[in-house]
Amino acid sequence: MSPFVGELIGTMILIILGGGVVGGVLMKKSKAEDAGWIVITVGWGLAVTMGVYAVGNISDAHLNPAVTLGFASIGEFPWADVPKYIVAQMIGAMIGAVIVYFQYLPHWKVTEDPDAKLSVFATIPAIRHPLSNMISEVIGTFVLVLGLLAIGANEFTEGLNPLIVGALILAIGVSLGGPTGYAINPARDLGPRIAHFFLPIPGKGSSDWKYAWIPVIGPVLGGIYGALFYQKFFEGMNNSLFWLVSLMILALFVLAQISIRKSNVKVKALN
């Protein structure tokens, strides 16, 4: 099996199990209905674990453009292979989303909430504030890529690494996932969102394209920064790109704070 096919299949497994657990919790008359956020985060952690076990020895199981770009930014992955990995991840994510659609085929009609249907495929923020939502995705993916590199620097019993990676995903979901649903992966969000747009889901609403750029740009920025941060502080290597991305993220934080303050002033004025 080629690395391209490995990334495609691994990402497909990730979405089948990850999107599948969201469907189980949100779809009406599912036996897992209302099982809650903890079940969703555990499901996603195990989804990543199974994807990594399946193709880790074939493609290193990035399963995420933010990981691929982050590793490439510090020389841990060849830039020439980045496009094919991202294409494979996107295709795998869309195929996985279509499989989830068929898994819950009779449940779409009895589920009235269009947001619940979209949530099986893509993320929706708890409070819609684009700059803050972007920060949440940056932070979550920063922790992901920093954690992956730190895990890789340790020696574990053979075959244990995927479980540790799954635990990292679980930790991010439980601790940081609440504001946006923690896409932390452009393919995981954009691929299924495209599938949602085209699939004949009864009573579906908008695919929310106005928000779709945030779980793409945020994870890419956070993933690259996580890798650069690891390279600088854990390996002691200087990279001018680290300072450039640091300034970009600092500016994002400042702009988000200013925007929140303006929103609070408007609320007070209305009251």
Q: Any idea where the domains of the chain sit in the sequence?
A: 3-265
Q: How confident is the model at residue 238 (pLDDT cuts 50, 70, 90)?
A: confident
> If you search the block for the tokens 């949440």, which residue do you land on?
136
What was the pLDDT predicted at 263?
74
Output the CA torsion sign for 71, 72, 77, 80.
positive
How far apart CA 47 and CA 68 sit, in angstroms, is 18
Q: Residue 269 pLDDT more than 70?
A: no
Buried b / exposed e over 116-152, threshold 16 CB at 10 Å, is bbbbbbbbebeeebebbbbbbbbbbbbbbbbbbbeee
pLDDT tier at 152 (50, 70, 90 boundaries)?
confident
Give the model confidence (pLDDT) of 95-116 as tens digits.
999 999 999 999 999 999 999 9
Q: How many CB atoms lie within 10 A of CB 53?
A: 18
pLDDT beyond 80 at 157: no
Q: How far apart are CA 248 and CA 129, in angstroms?
A: 18
Superfamily, domain 3-265: Glycerol uptake facilitator protein. (1.20.1080.10)
Average pLDDT over residues 251-259: 95
Average pLDDT for the chain: 95
Contacts of 102 (CB under 8 A, 6+ apart): none
- Taking only the tens place, the pLDDT of each residue in 183-226 is 999 999 999 999 999 999 999 999 999 999 999 999 999 999 99
214-233 and 240-270 helices, crossing angle to 10°: 130
Q: What's the rounded Cα separation, in Å, for the pair 199 and 224?
A: 33
Q: What is the pLDDT of residue 265?
A: 52
